[in-house]
Each structure stands twice: as structure tokens, then as C-alpha cells.
Structure 1
Amino acid sequence: MSTTYLNLARKWRSKNFDQIIGQQLSVRMIKNSLYLNHFFPVYLLAGQRGCGKTTTARVFAAAINCANLDAFQKNPRLTSLPCLSCESCKAMEQGNHPDFIEMDAASHTGVDNVRQIIEAASLLPLLGKKKVYLIDEAHMLSKAAFNAFLKILEEPPSSVLFMLATTDDQKIIDTVRSRCFQLFFRAIAQNDLRGLLVEICQKEEIGYDEQGLQLLIRETGGSARDALNLLEQVRFSSDQITEENVLRVLGCISDDQICTVLYHVFSKAKSPQKLIEYVDEIKLESFAPEIVWHRFIVALKIAVWYKYGVSSTGLVLTNDLKASIEAVPLSQAVRLFDFACQQEQLFLKTIDKHLFLSMFWIRLWSMVHNQEAEITSLVTSKSMVTASIDSKLTVTDQLVATSEQQRVTISANSSLWEMFLEQITQVDDQLIVSLFTQAKLKNYDTESNKLEVSFHKKFELFQDLFTKKDAPWFLLLQEVFGNGIQLNPVFESESIVQDVKPIEKKVVDQSKKQFYQSNNSANVSKKDIPLDISDKTAWAMTHALLERFPGTVTEFKEETDE
């Protein structure tokens, strides 16, 4: 007779409390309940997948009906529970215990299934002291099924005990949760999970190295079942659990490769061309894009932590990467992380995720360097090619090249200026907001860190406003362009062209009609009426003008004599 093969997760499932790892608090409460012989009618076991909820519930059910329970209550330190040798424990191990009923709520969601449980709960246990019902994935029950459960959960028969296991306790309705003794299962700590994997590898004669196990543990997120399943996948693909073999099974990018991508993004010595070449070199399409995205977000988080002086064990930063991160302002690093988080929904919805990743990294590079290095590279390469063809440029060609370079530089930095204009609308100074929204970015010299902004000549009387370094608008300017930015306002007589939407012809015609009607109306007189401007919120611009130009505000109304 052939022996049925069990995968590692089933073969090494814990059979007593001593074998359960990473859930010391929950196990201690259950053992104390057994020792005192005090049982709650309903237990709710909540936690992430693979952390031991269902396993603990089965061990608990076996312990309740174990023949060794009396000995455990007398001497808990020297007695193992469940004993695994009595008739009840053997029936539990074989999966045919008449008093243990396990139901998967994902496939039994209706009221009829709950009614069957209620009817069967009135029967006395056959083999053990209590009849135990384990409802796995309890959050999948319908609301009507939960409501049908309420009465028996609150006052069940003394011989019945319910256990609800769920990965999403927030979906359990409040009236049910309030009737439960809640046990929370956390993700298994890496040291505990490592000890389990080392023990299994030794007993199963599986070769491993420390780097491979650490990567396997990190990628499974504290889930023992996921770790054992991944261990078995790597075992079937090769005879050794190494970092390279685990990465190949996962389709995951290595830490060295993700650090190199991050270095290309942050380093001034790199260019978009080098970044694209490296992405092609590592064959990005061979990796699972979701895992690459997650690893890069983690790398960005570690970069921000490094800016705050906090070290992390999730990723080892190289010296070159540390130097490139140090050269980036903290506010800019935080802004990159926020931008990445905002792009995650687009990444999940896009069809070609590998292409999205490549363009995303190039866009991050542009945000870090304001596209200066790219522009310099393009201009330099263009001049080198031109020099090889014709070593002398005419004066006209030089002027055109200079003009083109200035135009591209302004275009490259316009995104920062637009970002500043979006944020300045939050400033509680309508005059400053009005001045800047009518202004125009003229030049941004990154070497001297000077920002030249053009204002209309008529605003020259407000020149003193731009010298206040502690004003809220200047703090926003520093946040966008970096600390040490110097604003150089230029007041010119030329009008600043704004992108204004053209007025529709019908609106113009209507205005003309109203104008002619008002001019042709008879007996029109104007009356000077005091105006109530006490509401500073509604009249913010008016109060801002009154602070600088003291006076009174009146309203002129036109009245027609009848």
C-alpha cells in the first residue's frame, strides 16, 4: 500500500502547543484557560494568513477532549497537551473525530448552513467532553448568516464551543465580535521562522545557506505556510536553498540590482541613457514586476530613513549609493517617496508593467536632477557631433544654440515652478498669491541657486514683500527648490502673457447687449452705499489691500427712477 505524500506545510503542521511558534501570548491564554477549566463560549482567532490560527484552533480542540487534560490541570509543567496517544487525540489526528466539526465559511456562506449547525449543536458529544465547531474564514459568512448565529453564540449549550478563524476581523459584524473572546495572531518573527526552517531542512536533508533562508523568510512576510511552500518549490527546482535559486523561483530582483537602479536615479554622475542601458542589461522583463515595484518602494523608504539618520536591515546600501543619497535634499527624497506611492494605483492598472517601471525610473531621475544632466548631455553630444563635421560654427549658429539651450532649461524647470504655484494657493495672503500667479519664471541658475522671476512693472511698489525670508510663501519656495534658494524679482514693463481660455462669442455678444441696454436706460442715478466687509474670509483680498492702503470701501449702485 503506497503512502500518501503530504507537502511540507501539512506534514510539519504543529500537533501540540509546544510546536506552535511565534504566538506565545495567544498560546499562553489558551493553556491558562485549559488549566483553570474555564472556557469562553466563542473564540475569535484573527490574524494574517499562515500564522497559525487554524492549527492553534485544532490543537485547542484536541486538548479540550484529551484524556490527559486532568493530569495537565494538576501539573501543567510536566504534562504535554494534547497527548496524541489517547483515543480522542488519535481520532483528531486521523481527521474523523465525531465531536470536532470544521466548516469552511467561504463555501458555506448561507443561512441554511448556519441552521444545520444550530440543530446539530443541541446533540450531546459522543467521544469527548465538548462538541467543538471550527468555522474557518468566518468573515465570508453573509450578514443574514451572522444574524442567525447571534442567539446561539450568546447562549450556546454547555457542551458546545465555537471557534471562528478569520484573516479579516473587520468584516465580522460588531454584534458577533462583542460575543467573542478575541485572540490576535501576529506575523511570525523572522528568528522563530528561521528556527523552524532550519529544523525542517535538517530533518528533510535539504541543503541551504544563510542568505537563501533569509531571503526566503523576508519574501514570505511572516507566514509559516508560505515559507514552507516556497521552500518546497525551491527544493524541486534545485538541490540547494541559495539566494540565487530563491530569486529564480520568485522571479525577484536582487538587492544589488535594486541598489544599482536607485544609484542611477540619485547619482549626478549617471544619465537617463545609462539608466536605460542598465535596465536592458539586467533584463527587467524576466522579473515579476509587482515584486520589483515592492522592492523599489522599500529601497526608497530606506533611503528616506537614511536621510533621517536611521539605519535599516531591509537593504544594505553601498557607499556610492549613500553618497548619492546624501547629495539629495531631504524634502526632495520625501517628495519622491510620496510620488511613488501616488503612482502605485496606476502601476497596478497598467497592462505593460515593465514599461511602466522603466518610464517611472526615468521620471524619478528627472525629478531628482531637474533634467539638468540630461540637457547637458544632449547639448554636449550635439556639439561633439557638430565639431566632428565642421570644427567652426558661425556666430549665428552659436546664438541659436545658446537660445535653444536656455529655452530647454526653462522648460525643464517649469515643472518645479508649476508645483510652487499649486502650493502657494494655500497661503493665507491673497496679495502674494495674486502677484505670483501673474508672474513668469525667467531663469533658474542651479549653480548659484538663484531664481529669477519676472513681474509686471506696476507691481514694483510691492518689492519689499519679496525680501521677507520668514514669510509662509518663502518657506514653500524653499520646500520646492531646496534650502538656500534666492529669489531675484525682476519688474518689466512688458505684460506677462497668461494662458487664458478664449471668451466665447455668445458671451461677448450678451455683454455688449447688456452694456447698450444699461447706457440707453432712462433716469439712471448712482447712489453711494456703505459696504459691509466684516467677514474677513469672504473679503480676504479686500482686507489685504486695506492693510497696505488704508481707506474706506463703498459700493455704487445704479437705481432707476420710476
Structure 2
Amino acid sequence: MNIQLNLARKWRSKRFDDVVGQELVIRLIKNSLYRNLVFPVYLLSGPKGSGKTTTARLFASALNCNELSNFEKKPQEVSLPCNQCNSCISMSKFAHPDFIEIDAASNTGVENIRQIIETASFMPVLGKKKIYLIDEAHMLSKAAFNAFLKILEEPPTGTVFMLATTDVNKIISTVQSRCFQLFFSIIQDQDIVNHLSFICTEENISFDIEALNLIANQSQGSLRDAINLLEKVRLNSEKVDKESILETLGFLNENNLFEILNTVLNKNIVELINLFNKINLKNYNVIIIWKQFIELVHQLFLIKNQIDTSIKLNKNIDLIINKISIKILLDMLEIAHSYEFKLSKTTLPYLNLELMFINLAQKINLDKNNNLDKEKFTQVININNNTDNKLDINQDKWKKVLVEIDSLKDPLLNSIFQQAELDLSNYLNKELILLFSKDFVFFKDILEETKKTWITIFNKNFGIDVSIKFNFNKIINNTSITLNNKNNNQNEEIAEKKSIYPKKETILIKNSIINNKKEYKTKSLDISNQSKWPRANTILKIFPGKIYLEENTSL
């Protein structure tokens, strides 16, 4: 009785040209064969299902293939291995005397390596080369690797070693340095879909392209996993379609998933629990549901940021996207990811999954007024005149405001605004908030008195109907107030505050800064007349001390 092979074995690549998604590796091997430059040791590394073992077997077949000499002459006309000569037929039957394949996961000890060392010196029987393929090489013990070093460095003539591994980092560096390394990448989804489509056509399997795309997505770059999943679905259903795949994998229905998310956003715990009972989560794979939820929230995040426009908007996504913000999506992703270990290790996975959704409903902060075109995010713009970064439109407006206030020739007013930060969190409501440190509350009266002077500048740049509010709760560690004098092209420091209320500060009005290490000829300025010196007296209320004027300087 003939036993029919499963699809993964039946459709294993039989020639180099059949290998899927590893063009660079195949090109390196074929060029090596064409130029007759064969290395004694090869290290094939990459993720599971990427074709490492298959490629190693094809390489071994090609090394002993009778058509190799013709390939060296006409590489574009001859395909390797030929699968017709005695050597290739023996390889296909796993009966080649010169090809020894060892599973390092089962033969990890140093004694197994010593047996290889003893037999490696024997001449090949059927072909020109004797090939050893050590699969899952990273499972070898450290002692085995050390015993292997000498023969890898100076292998017998006519012997080729091939080491295949999914974890190249576990191969000790001294072994890696002795190998010609071939890196296998994950196989792209489109390559997997094309290969699955070919298999379905050859096997007369009815399929939908959408279903094959779903299989490719779930296989995560492993062609073997994709073929095995295709076969599982084929045995479960007459047609390979999206519904049959979801049923086979234990996926939650898409409408049910959206219903759960919508209930979470509504923060209705009772309705959420009733929904779990209605769906009966125990009929589904908990890890799969968790992954589905993560992917759904990630898709919403992309749509919200208008990053991936290829995602199809359906009515369910359209309803949810209008009432959810980016911050909520990020919070949901963070909370959901924190349950990954719990769900994989717990003995009560379904209970933990329910707790995850309940936790999400309790912790997220949903603003029901948020929509796609109107989201309330606090944007605080800290302007630094020396920055080289590109500024957005609102920052440019704020810069223009500062420039125009400077042109008013009012040094104190200009210095106050230089210390402000602009909060645009309520800009959609035509309101701007200027943030100051707590100490600047003493300048509030000055800002109100001069409002008619500077409000026109804001109206000119931000709109005639914009309103300005002050917030004096901003914390600033080091605050300095600077007077700008364009006529002298100098920035003159009035005060530098190292604590909230310093015991004594020296304040200069013009040209010079008192330095403890140098002496300047100055004279005290009498500002007892508050009507004549209102602003100077206001400054002294905040920064106690005296005002000095450099000699030979007139006001």
C-alpha cells in the first residue's frame, strides 16, 4: 500500500530553482558550484521553515551530481541537481552512502562528534564528496563544539561539513569563524501566497486568494508552517476560504471581536461579561484571540495616524475610529502586551483573558467628544532661538509673535514673553494658553496693563477671534529674564534666579554684568519714587536687592 506524503514533504524543493524566497543564498551556492570553489564548512542559519535543511540537501546532491561538470560549462542551461543520476536518486531515497545527516538535538555529546571525526577521514564511496549535515547544530554541547574545532579547521580532503541552525548566537564564535555563513531570511508573504497557490492548483484544492493571504500572515515567514496549515484546513473543509481558516485556527469571529472592543470602550463591565458568556470563549484559542486583539488595535493605530491607507475600512472600524484617540490605542496596546506571559503560562487562560478585557475597560480614559478630525492633545512648544530643528506652522507663528513683541521696544515685556511657553491644547476652541513659572504671577498685572499693545500681534498671527489665558503653574528649574536692546545688539541680563526667593541679587540695567572675580565702578540707583520707577520696583519685589548703574552711564 502506497502511503501518500503530506504536502510539506511532497512539495519539498527538488532543485535550486524551486527554493522559495532565498534568492541570495541560492545565487551564492550556484556561483560556488560554477566556479568550483567549495568551502569545507558551511553554516546555514535562519528562522524555522525558511529552507535551511532543504537547501543543504540540494547542495549535497549537487556536489555529487553527474551533471555538475556540464553546469560549470553551461550554467544557464543545466539545472542542479538533475535528480536522474544514481547519486541524485540515492539522495532522494535518503540512501546515499556519502551523505550523513545528524540531528544534533538527539546527538549532543562529545562521543557523537568523535564518531564523526573517525569516519570523516574515509574516502567517498559513490560521489566525489563526503558530506556531513548537522541539523540543529546549536544543540551541541560546549565540549562537543570544542572537540569539533580541529577537524573544522583542517577537514579531510573531499569532506564537506554543513551546520544548520535556527539560533546562530548559540554557535560558539570559534566555530563561526571557521565557517562560510549563509543567512536565510524569513519568506515574504507574497512568495508564500504564490507557492500555496501553485500547490492548490496542482492538488486540485479549491481556494480563495484572501484565505491564502491569511495563511501567509499567520505563518510568520515559515513556508513549512504555511503548507501544514493549508493541509489542516483542507482536511477540515472542502474549500480553503477565510471562514474555514478562522474555524480551524480557533479564531474569534471578526464581528464578535469588534463587539468586544466596542463594549470595552463603552466601559460596560456587566455587558462585557454577558458578551463573554454569549460568545463562549472556551471554544476558541486564547492566544489567538489575544493576537487578534493586538492586531486589531494596531490596525486602528495605523488608520488613526493615516500611515497604512491599504487597510480596508469597514463599518465596524469606521464606528470605532471616530470615538477613540491615539493615546487610548497606545494604552490598550501596553495593557494587552502585559498579559502575554500570563496567558501563555496560566492554568486558567480563559479567566485571564476575561480579566484583561475588564482591566482595559476600567483603565482606559475615553473622551466621547474625540473624533478623527478633532483630538485634544496638549502641544507645548518650547521656543529656543538657537535650535536648528524644523518648526511646524504653529511654532512659526509663535516665533513671529516673539519677533514682533521685541520690535515694540519694551525690554521687560519682551523678556516676560521670552520665558513663556505656548500651549495649543485648546486651540480648536480659539484659545491660547501662555505657560509661566509660579514666580511670574507678579508680572500678571503688567501683562494685563499692556494687553492692548500685544493682543493685536496674537490676533494678526493666530486669528482675530483668538483669546489668551495665562497659566502660572509651570515649573522651571532655572529662570533668567533677558532684556533685548537691538540698538546695541546686546542681550542684557536683568536677573538670574537660582532659587525661588534669593536673599540678595544684583540687577543691572545696562551694558555690564557684575562678576565676583572683577570689580566695576558702579553707583547705586535711587528708585524710591515708585511712580517714576514702577517696573523697577516690581522687579525688586520678586528679586530683592539693589539696582546699580555703571558710572559714566546715563539713563
Paired with 2:63 and 2:305, the residues of 1 have a C-alpha distance of 52
2:357 — aligned with what? 361
Q: Map 1:398-409; keep pairs closer than 5 Å.
A: none
1:240 — aligned with what? 239
- Does the Cα contact within 8 Å between 2:108 and 2:140 map onto a contact in 1? yes
The Cα of 1:67 is off from its aligned counterpart by: 0.4
Paired with 2:470 and 2:356, the residues of 1 have a C-alpha distance of 31
Find out whether 1:548 has 2:544 as its counterpart: no
1:125 — aligned with what? 124
Q: What TM-score comes out, normalization by structure 1 length? A: 0.65
Change beyond 3 A, Cα 1:80–1:360: same
The Cα of 1:31 is off from its aligned counterpart by: 0.5
Paired with 1:326 and 1:463, the residues of 2 have a C-alpha distance of 40
Paired with 1:55 and 1:259, the residues of 2 have a C-alpha distance of 42
Paired with 2:268 and 2:96, the residues of 1 have a C-alpha distance of 67
- Does the Cα contact within 8 Å between 1:35 and 1:72 map onto a contact in 2? yes
Paired with 1:364 and 1:102, the residues of 2 have a C-alpha distance of 51
2:490 — aligned with what? none
The Cα of 1:282 is off from its aligned counterpart by: 2.6
Paired with 1:372 and 1:350, the residues of 2 have a C-alpha distance of 35
Opposite residue 262 of structure 1, the aligned amino acid is L
Secondary structure (helix, strand or coil) at the match of 2:42 reads strand
**Superimposed CA distance per residue, residues 488-527 of structure 1 (whole angstroms, 9 cap, x where no aligned partner):** 99xxxxxxxxxxxxxxxxxxxxxxxxxxxxxxxxxxxxxx
2:320 — aligned with what? 324
Change beyond 3 A, Cα 1:254–1:316: farther
Find out whether 1:350 has 2:346 as its counterpart: yes
**Superimposed CA distance per residue, residues 14-56 of structure 1 (whole angstroms, 9 cap, x where no aligned partner):** 1111111111111111111011110112111111111111000
Secondary structure (helix, strand or coil) at the match of 1:161 reads strand
- Does the Cα contact within 8 Å between 2:323 and 2:367 map onto a contact in 1? no
- Does the Cα contact within 8 Å between 1:264 and 1:274 map onto a contact in 2? yes
Paired with 2:153 and 2:309, the residues of 1 have a C-alpha distance of 47
Paired with 1:486 and 1:38, the residues of 2 have a C-alpha distance of 76
Opposite residue 136 of structure 2, the aligned amino acid is E
Change beyond 3 A, Cα 1:209–1:547: same
**Superimposed CA distance per residue, residues 200-220 of structure 1 (whole angstroms, 9 cap, x where no aligned partner):** 222222222223222222212
**Superimposed CA distance per residue, residues 383-423 of structure 1 (whole angstroms, 9 cap, x where no aligned partner):** xxxxxxxxxxxxxxxxxxxxxxxxxxxxxxxxxxxxxxxxx
Change beyond 3 A, Cα 1:207–1:319: closer
Opposite residue 278 of structure 2, the aligned amino acid is E
1:290 — aligned with what? 287
2:332 — aligned with what? 336
1:228 — aligned with what? 227
Secondary structure (helix, strand or coil) at the match of 1:304 reads helix
Paired with 1:231 and 1:11, the residues of 2 have a C-alpha distance of 13
Alignment RMSD (CA, Å): 3.1
The Cα of 1:91 is off from its aligned counterpart by: 0.7
1:278 — aligned with what? 275
The Cα of 1:140 is off from its aligned counterpart by: 0.5
Find out whether 1:69 has 2:65 as its counterpart: no
Change beyond 3 A, Cα 1:115–1:209: same
Opposite residue 16 of structure 1, the aligned amino acid is R
Bigger CA drift: 219-228 or 133-142? 219-228
Q: What TM-score comes out, normalization by structure 2 length? A: 0.65
- Does the Cα contact within 8 Å between 2:187 and 2:222 map onto a contact in 1? yes
The Cα of 1:343 is off from its aligned counterpart by: 2.9
Bigger CA drift: 253-262 or 179-188? 253-262
Change beyond 3 A, Cα 1:197–1:39: same
Paired with 1:371 and 1:365, the residues of 2 have a C-alpha distance of 13
- Does the Cα contact within 8 Å between 1:138 and 1:165 map onto a contact in 2? yes
Change beyond 3 A, Cα 1:312–1:167: farther
1:309 — aligned with what? 306
Opposite residue 234 of structure 1, the aligned amino acid is V
Identity %: 45
Change beyond 3 A, Cα 1:279–1:316: farther
The Cα of 1:98 is off from its aligned counterpart by: 0.6
Paired with 1:30 and 1:255, the residues of 2 have a C-alpha distance of 45
Change beyond 3 A, Cα 1:150–1:369: same
Opposite residue 365 of structure 2, the aligned amino acid is H
Between Structure 1 and Structure 2, which shows a larger proportion of helix residues?
1
Change beyond 3 A, Cα 1:288–1:317: farther
Equivalent pairs, count? 394
1:163 — aligned with what? 162
- Does the Cα contact within 8 Å between 2:101 and 2:134 map onto a contact in 1? yes
Secondary structure (helix, strand or coil) at the match of 2:296 reads helix
Paired with 1:299 and 1:179, the residues of 2 have a C-alpha distance of 46
Paired with 1:188 and 1:253, the residues of 2 have a C-alpha distance of 27
Paired with 2:142 and 2:470, the residues of 1 have a C-alpha distance of 62
Change beyond 3 A, Cα 1:486–1:293: farther
1:215 — aligned with what? 214
Paired with 1:301 and 1:142, the residues of 2 have a C-alpha distance of 41
Secondary structure (helix, strand or coil) at the match of 1:14 reads coil
Structure 1, gaps ≥5 residues long:
374-447, 449-460, 468-484, 490-543, 553-562
Secondary structure (helix, strand or coil) at the match of 2:80 reads coil
- Does the Cα contact within 8 Å between 2:331 and 2:364 map onto a contact in 1? no
**Superimposed CA distance per residue, residues 108-132 of structure 1 (whole angstroms, 9 cap, x where no aligned partner):** 0000000111111111111111101
**Superimposed CA distance per residue, residues 420-447 of structure 1 (whole angstroms, 9 cap, x where no aligned partner):** xxxxxxxxxxxxxxxxxxxxxxxxxxxx
The Cα of 1:137 is off from its aligned counterpart by: 0.5
Structure 2, gaps ≥5 residues long:
370-428, 430-437, 445-468, 474-495, 505-555
Secondary structure (helix, strand or coil) at the match of 1:162 reads strand
- Does the Cα contact within 8 Å between 2:258 and 2:316 map onto a contact in 1? no
Paired with 1:486 and 1:95, the residues of 2 have a C-alpha distance of 82
Paired with 2:132 and 2:255, the residues of 1 have a C-alpha distance of 50
Paired with 2:471 and 2:366, the residues of 1 have a C-alpha distance of 18
Secondary structure (helix, strand or coil) at the match of 2:160 reads strand
Opposite residue 502 of structure 2, the aligned amino acid is P
Paired with 1:183 and 1:255, the residues of 2 have a C-alpha distance of 41
- Does the Cα contact within 8 Å between 1:108 and 1:141 map onto a contact in 2? yes
The Cα of 1:545 is off from its aligned counterpart by: 11
1:153 — aligned with what? 152
Change beyond 3 A, Cα 1:360–1:273: same
The Cα of 1:263 is off from its aligned counterpart by: 3.3
The Cα of 1:199 is off from its aligned counterpart by: 1.7
The Cα of 1:317 is off from its aligned counterpart by: 4.5
- Does the Cα contact within 8 Å between 1:263 and 1:321 map onto a contact in 2? no
Secondary structure (helix, strand or coil) at the match of 2:355 reads helix
Q: Map 1:376-455; keep pairs closer than 5 Å.
A: none
- Does the Cα contact within 8 Å between 2:328 and 2:366 map onto a contact in 1? no
Change beyond 3 A, Cα 1:126–1:220: same
The Cα of 1:312 is off from its aligned counterpart by: 6.5
1:259 — aligned with what? 258
**Superimposed CA distance per residue, residues 311-365 of structure 1 (whole angstroms, 9 cap, x where no aligned partner):** 176x644345345335433233223322322232233333222222222122212
Q: Map 1:106-145; keep pairs closer than 5 Å.
A: 106-145=105-144
Opposite residue 353 of structure 1, the aligned amino acid is P
Paired with 2:100 and 2:312, the residues of 1 have a C-alpha distance of 49
Paired with 2:144 and 2:22, the residues of 1 have a C-alpha distance of 30
The Cα of 1:294 is off from its aligned counterpart by: 1.3
Secondary structure (helix, strand or coil) at the match of 2:97 reads coil
Paired with 1:147 and 1:95, the residues of 2 have a C-alpha distance of 29
The Cα of 1:256 is off from its aligned counterpart by: 3.8
Opposite residue 361 of structure 1, the aligned amino acid is F
1:420 — aligned with what? none
Secondary structure (helix, strand or coil) at the match of 1:248 reads helix
- Does the Cα contact within 8 Å between 1:150 and 1:176 map onto a contact in 2? yes
Opposite residue 299 of structure 1, the aligned amino acid is L
